[in-house]
């Protein structure tokens, strides 16, 4: 996607909602955090030029910008996935828009299956790193030099300081925030038990169908990224039971209260930094 289209989309959000310094992408079943925002303004995806529309249950389909703990926060309620048929340009367009709105810190959340048998549904896991087994990369094609270099470094895909903040703030709240490695599989089918055995051998603790494209593009844009997974189910083959999306949504709903407390505490701890790049 060219810069003209990205700027046009960003200007539509800016005119409706204003700038932001922190953004939060909400995963399946975690919608509702936008209700924490003070003096919110919102815009539906259908009103943003070039934006796709989320087709997955549990994803609302709007940007909401407001204040949390004296910081301007943009909440993306409803994300896009490659398995919906969207190109990587479309899946990651919201992150490019966030960058142009001044976002410097991105918190990416998701619902994930536990590969690590020490996890349980309801756990919150801070991401240490990712494994990309999708065969896709959102930076393929012509580099958008305005945002970042041709070959961005991924050594610290998830910011070490932000990870420490999340774990520390969780401890203060009595939340046992775990740490782990996330594996991106394209979907939309859930993984097979054989795939989960492979993923475990490779070193992953969690598996899911999102997050990595947004992480790569956010790092390309120079953002600091914090990834948090909500464990909604044990991955295929760990339990002798099938997996369905309704259970994923129900598990996400059950952890919403804990999730909101952790988000508020993390955002409150972030240093203030705002700039507008449009």
Catalytic pick among 10, 12, 111, 234: 111
How would you classify the pairing of strands 206-208 and 105-114? antiparallel
| Three-class secondary structure of residue 58 per DSSP | coil
Residue 220 appears among annotated catalytic residues = no
Catalytic pick among 21, 81, 204, 230: 81
Residue 54 appears among annotated catalytic residues = no
* Cα–Cα distance measured from residue 6 to residue 190, given in angstroms and rounded to the nearest whole number: 32
Q: Where are the alpha helices (DSSP H) in the chain?
A: 3-17, 88-100, 160-172, 193-202, 212-220, 245-254, 256-269
Residue 83 appears among annotated catalytic residues = yes
Q: Which residue in 2, 207, 38 sits closest to 115, CA to CA?
A: 207
Catalytic pick among 23, 98, 209, 235: 209
Residue 84 appears among annotated catalytic residues = yes
User: What pairs with residue 22 in β-bridges?
Assistant: 73, 105
Its sign, for the CA torsion 202, 206, 207, 213, is negative
| Three-class secondary structure of residue 51 per DSSP | coil
How would you classify the pairing of strands 62-68 and 71-77? antiparallel
Catalytic pick among 41, 179, 245, 253: 245
User: What pairs with residue 65 in β-bridges?
Assistant: 41, 74
* Cα–Cα distance measured from residue 182 to residue 227, given in angstroms and rounded to the nearest whole number: 9
Catalytic pick among 84, 169, 191, 195: 84
Catalytic pick among 23, 233, 251, 265: 233
DSSP assignment of 39-83, as one string?
A: EEEEEEGGGSTT-----STT---EEEEEEETTEEEEEEES---GG
Residue 233 appears among annotated catalytic residues = yes
Dihedrals phi, psi of 190, to nearest 5 degrees: -65, 160
Residue 76 appears among annotated catalytic residues = no
Residue 251 appears among annotated catalytic residues = no
| Three-class secondary structure of residue 128 per DSSP | strand
Catalytic pick among 99, 210, 229, 230: 210
Residue 179 appears among annotated catalytic residues = no
Please answer whether residues 263 and 36 qualify as being in contact, where contact means their C-beta atoms are separated by less than 8 angstroms.
Answer: yes
Catalytic pick among 59, 88, 157, 204: 59
Residues with catalytic roles: 28, 59, 81, 83-84, 111, 209-210, 233, 245
């Amino acid at each position: 996607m060219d810069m003209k289209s990205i700027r046009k989309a960003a200007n539509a959000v800016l005119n409706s909602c204003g700038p932001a310094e922190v953004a939060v992408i909400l995963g399946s079943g975690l919608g509702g955090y936008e209700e924490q925002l003070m003096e919110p303004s919102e815009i539906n995806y259908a009103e943003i030029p070039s934006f796709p529309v989320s087709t997955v249950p549990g994803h609302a389909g709007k940007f909401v910008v407001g204040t949390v703990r004296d910081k301007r926060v943009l909440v993306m309620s409803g994300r896009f996935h490659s398995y919906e048929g969207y190109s990587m340009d479309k899946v990651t367009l919201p992150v490019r828009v966030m960058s142009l709105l001044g976002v410097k810190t991105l918190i990416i959340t998701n619902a994930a299956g536990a590969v690590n048998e020490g996890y349980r549904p309801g756990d919150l896991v801070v991401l240490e790193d990712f494994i990309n087994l999708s065969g896709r990369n959102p930076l393929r094609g012509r580099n958008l030099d305005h945002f970042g270099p041709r070959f961005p470094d991924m050594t610290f895909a998830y910011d070490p300081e932000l990870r420490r903040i999340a774990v520390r703030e969780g401890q203060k709240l009595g939340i046992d925030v775990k740490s782990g490695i996330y594996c991106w599989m394209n979907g939309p089918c859930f993984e097979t038990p054989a795939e989960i055995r492979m993923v475990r051998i490779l070193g992953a603790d969690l598996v899911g169908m999102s997050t990595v494209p947004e992480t790569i593009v956010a790092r390309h844009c120079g953002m600091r990224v914090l990834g948090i997974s909500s464990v909604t189910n044990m991955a295929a083959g760990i339990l002798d039971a099938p997996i369905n999306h309704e259970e994923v949504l129900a598990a996400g709903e059950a952890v919403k209260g804990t999730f909101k407390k952790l988000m508020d505490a993390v955002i409150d701890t972030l240093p203030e930094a705002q700039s507008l790049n449009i």
